[in-house]
Structure 1
Amino acid sequence: MSNNYPQATESRARELAENYNAILSKVDKLNPSVRLVAVSKFKPSSDIMALYSIGVRHFGENYVQELVAKSQELPKDICWHFIGALQSGKAKDLSNKVANLYAVETVDSLKKCKQLNNARARNDGEVINVYLQVNTSGEEQKSGFTSEEDMQETIEYLTNDPESTKLKFQGLMTIGSFAESTSGEENHDFKKLQEFKEKLDKKYDLDLHLSMGMSNDFEQAIKQGSTSVRVGSLIFGARPKKET
């Protein structure tokens, strides 16, 4: 491995590896086919390299500018997941400047799909996996589609439009409400996403993945059918607040 990449101290690398492996063990015990995405927002590239060195390749970031910077500094076989709120004005940058962008998990409009696809097509970049974000909790502060009808036009574009050459409709994503995620019981927000999947799979002949579950609720999410969980603080530790 090249020494040109930022490196963590031995103690920090050991801490991160232990944290990651502890979470991975819990994931594997519930369902070994579930993907663990290490959410590295606000954490230095040296932290990412510490996990990269033990074979981790899927990392999640919440801010376009931070993801672009890290993707240019770190190995090109990292599979980046964009999991933050996607602004229309940033979709082009995300698509253009992150060659190894594996997935955008927060698509909530047809307009953003088209922006991602067209920017990628102009550069003849690799296909981006797309997750449609669903607002299953009904909370006003959360983004996402709210009904099957609401997302129909976007699904038609992803599955049938000949212009959509650089996007693959891989799945659905949601963020459970705090109350549901800390109840310790069946999460009704996750249940709603599973029901969306069943309807869409049948209607469009799909087999969609489900991205649901974070540090405080990933185990319950896996029990309810999640195929990808996004874990940050349990791996990397508490994050500093974003500077305003």
Structure 2
Amino acid sequence: MSLSNIRIFLRNMSSQSTSLRAAELEQNYNIILSQVRKLNPSVRLVAVSKLKPASDILSLYNVGVRHFGENYVQELVAKAAELPKDIKWHFIGGLQTGKCKDLAKNIDNLYAVETIDSLKKCKKLDTVRKSVNSNPDSKINIYLQINTSGEEQKSGYAVGDSELTETVEYLLSDECTSLNLEGLMTIGSFESSTSDDENSDFKKLVSLKSILDEKYNLKLELSMGMSNDFQEAIRQGSSSVRVGSSIFGARPPKN
């Protein structure tokens, strides 16, 4: 076989591999989406694409998917610069105060930050966003992360934390002009998420939503549920679920 024929063969193999991967991703996504819609058609499915290549995201984008979740700031910044600008990015990983600037400054199409666990981070995001974007329609939606399981290794406000109240009131104040309080987020404990009974961590978040809705005249959304527990989360009232491995497959270890 000549060198030119070898190159043609390799290009064809690569194209075939890409097409097979795109078909696999679409099939996986549609399986999860059908399960979501069967339980509640209004629930948002966020495809969690952390540590997956931009080509995977583009494959799903090409069949109409727009909501994607990322866990690492620098990875999200890089992907947002490369991929279409009408993607609605959700940041769902642990957020350091020093990284708030990168999110607010570099990602115009940042739809939501779902892991806010301090007033300081809210103020940093708002300050930076105001400095780079005066468009009042370009607000970042904020979800306050609640540590409903009380696990020490998890981030999030405690249910009765006074700073939670301060953060809610800041987000609702005239001082905060670049952020929108959209909802609450939690990650259920392993025990609660693998139990056949009602998830007690989700139940706590639903209860907190009711309290805050009544106190501040809100209609907060709930982001709870991942690959292993999203169906129970929907049954308990989640507005948005974050599904990664069931769509994209197992992730490589982070370098």
Shift of 1:80: 0.1
Instruction: Describe the SS at the equivalent of 2:172.
Output: helix
Equivalent-residue separation in structure 1 for 2:206 and 2:237 (angstroms): 7
Map Cα deviations across residues 83-121 of structure 1 (whole Å, 9 max, x no partner): 000100100111101110000000000000001011100
Aligned match of 1:103: 112
Instruction: Report what 1:242 is aligned to.
Output: 254
Whether 1:220 aligns to 2:229 is: no
Aligned equivalents of 1:109 and 1:150: distance in 2? 7
Does residue 128 of structure 2 align to residue 116 of structure 1?
A: no
Match of 1:25 among 28, 31, 34: 34
Q: Secondary structure at the match of 1:186?
A: coil
Give 1:176's aligned residue.
Answer: 188
Q: Does 1:202 align with 2:214?
A: yes
**Alignment check: 8 A CA contact 2:119 2:163 kept:** no
Q: For 1:89 and 1:159, how far apart are their aligned partners in 2? A: 23
Amino acid at match of 1:159: L
Greater shift in the superposed pair: 92-101 or 144-153: 144-153
Q: Matches of 1:31 and 1:146 in 2, distance apart?
A: 29
Alignment-derived partner of residue 229 in structure 1: 241
Gaps of 5+ in 1: 1-6
Q: Does the 8 Å CA contact 2:148/2:159 hold for their aligned counterparts?
A: no
Counterpart residue number, 1:9: 18
Q: AA paired with 1:34? A: V
Query: Structure 2 length normalisation: TM-score?
Result: 0.91
Q: Distance in 1 between matches of 2:209 and 2:188?
A: 16
Instruction: Please list the CA deviations of residues 20-75 of structure 1 after superposition, one character each: whole Å capped at 9, or x if unmatched.
Output: 00000000000000000000000000000000001000000000000000000000
- The alignment status of 1:153 with 2:166, answered yes or no, reads yes
Tell me whether 57-66 or 123-132 shows the greater mean CA deviation.
123-132
Which letter does structure 2 place at the counterpart of 1:154? Answer: T
After TM superposition, the score normalised by the length of structure 1 is 0.95
Structure number with greater Rg is 2
Aligned residues: 236
Secondary structure of the 1:9 match is helix
- 2:199 alignment partner in structure 1: 187
2:90 aligns with one of 81, 87, 100: 81
Counterpart among 47, 56, 59 of residue 65 in structure 2: 56
Whole-Å separation in 2 of the counterparts to 1:133 and 1:184: 24
Cα deviation for residue 185 of structure 1 reads 1.8
For 1:65 and 1:226, the matched residues in 2 are separated by 28
Q: Superposition RMSD on alpha carbons, in Å?
A: 1.0
Q: Measure, in 2, the Cα distance between the counterparts of 1:184 and 1:22.
A: 22
Q: Which of the numbers 20, 41, 44 marks the counterpart of 1:35?
A: 44
Return 5+ residue gaps in structure 2 as ranges: 1-14
Among 123, 142, 156, which residue is 1:144 paired with?
Answer: 156
